[in-house]
Structure 1
Amino acid sequence: MGWTRGIEVPDGERWNGNIHYHRLLVEAVPTGGAVLDVGCGEGMLARRLHARGARVTGIDLDEPGIEQARKQSPGGEIEYVCGDFLTHPFEPESFDGIVSVATLHHMDAAAGLKRMRELLRPGGTLAVVGLARDALPRDLPWALAGITGFTWFRLTKTKWEHPSPIVWPPPVTYREMAAIARDILPGARFRRHVMWRYSLTWTKPPV
């Protein structure tokens, strides 16, 4: 139906491949707890989490994105940090939930998951939606399904273009990402989704 961009577009009128999977993350992490949004961009997911009662901190390296996020939360109800998630001095085990959308492929994925594991409290939940690379020809059916699904949604929705930097292609394949997750987060649930995304959920074992 078209393309839109800019913070003047209400959250409820926005759609793209990342926003499509926000619900998976919102439903995965606890309400009422402290939640970290890694690679928060202009803050749409952080706002959804806050609306469900979470105490949200968003972190992103992109300063213009963080500025847009702060403009959309003028009351300061969400804490936004412009910085490197891998090195910012968060206290270990200080979050009940950690979420991330389309961010792990911007960094070393293993280092990112280890850092999330370190910051998550025992009993807390980590939920990621990420992008990986098709390995052709094995992944051709998934690629075709992605094209079909994306085309359908483009015909029925107006695509919102996010302001954050883009990294393409992702450095690891879906199979490699699943192996990384299994190695670092034993018992994690890894699922592949139609529109070039995977989801990863893991609950840190209680002490």
Structure 2
Amino acid sequence: MENYWNHNTAFHNELVADAKLRGGRVLDIGCGDGLLLQRLAPIAQGVVGIDPDLKAISLAQKRLAATANVSFVNDDFLAMPVPPPEERFATIICVATLHHMELRKALQHMGEFLAPGGRLLVIGLAEDKTFMDLLISGLYLVPIRIMDRMHGGMKDPAVRIAAPKESIGEIRQAAVEVLPGASIRRRFYYRYCLRWSKR
């Protein structure tokens, strides 16, 4: 299966580099067609992809059929039981998926799946609710269009999409309450990055 570029895959290299610092087991929540899993597999002890969409899981299995250290779960992440300590993850990655779930419950559940010393990395979407949100998005419009053209245009796999519900301010407040010490900052391509390390 081909590689491609879009506003989510634009962050893959930095996510893989961050996960490589710890190695160990990596969980990709909302793995879609498995492109990020494919990039994580060489640097991790084991990689688990979870997605509730059976079609997406089937595509990921096809992409990674020859990769031994990858496994898949076709389920809702929030319905998964917390694994025992020895099966928790050094890195949890969630790209363009958090807004599909109940925000606080999802953040808490992700924290429970992390091993001590592990790191949560979220690339997310937020709704523009305030004047400042709209202004920043408007300022990004032209440079993002230029970058899209430079990369040959956006290519999106056939996966489920949903509009974000919370603003970046609301997401930041929830993260601070559920995951003390979490950092959130706006990123290019109408995304934000949430990082949290578990002590």
Same fold (TM > 0.5): yes
Query: 1:29-86: CA deviations, max 9, x gaps?
Result: 2443001000000111111111223410000001000000000111252101100111
| Alignment partners' CA distance in 2, 1:54 and 1:199 | 24
**Structure 2 letter corresponding to 1:25:** L
Would you say 1:181 and 2:182 are equivalent positions? no
Contact preservation (8 Å) 1:178, 1:190:
yes
Contact preservation (8 Å) 2:23, 2:90:
no
Identity of aligned residues (%): 37
Would you say 1:165 and 2:165 are equivalent positions? no
Question: Matched residue of 1:161: which SS?
Answer: coil
Would you say 1:80 and 2:79 are equivalent positions? no
**Structure 1 letter corresponding to 2:14:** L
What is the number of residues matched between the two proteins?
Answer: 194
Question: Matched residue of 1:86: which SS?
Answer: helix
Higher relative contact order at CA 8 Å, sep ≥6: structure 1 or structure 2? 1
Q: Which residue of 2 aligns with 1:32?
A: 23
TM-score by length of 1: 0.88
RMSD of aligned Cα (Å): 1.5
Contact preservation (8 Å) 1:187, 1:202:
yes
Q: Which residue of 2 aligns with 1:135?
A: 129
Match of 1:67 among 34, 55, 58: 58
Would you say 1:42 and 2:33 are equivalent positions? yes
Q: Which residue of 2 aligns with 1:125?
A: 119
Q: What does 1:139-154 correspond to in 2, within 5 Å?
A: 139-154=133-148
| Alignment partners' CA distance in 2, 1:88 and 1:45 | 21
Contact preservation (8 Å) 1:60, 1:66:
yes
TM-score by length of 2: 0.92
Contact preservation (8 Å) 2:33, 2:56:
yes
Larger CA deviation: 40-49 vs 140-149: 140-149
Question: Gaps (5+ residues) in structure 2?
Answer: none
Question: Matched residue of 2:169: which SS?
Answer: helix
Closer, same or farther: CA 90–163 of 1 in aligned 2, 3 Å:
farther
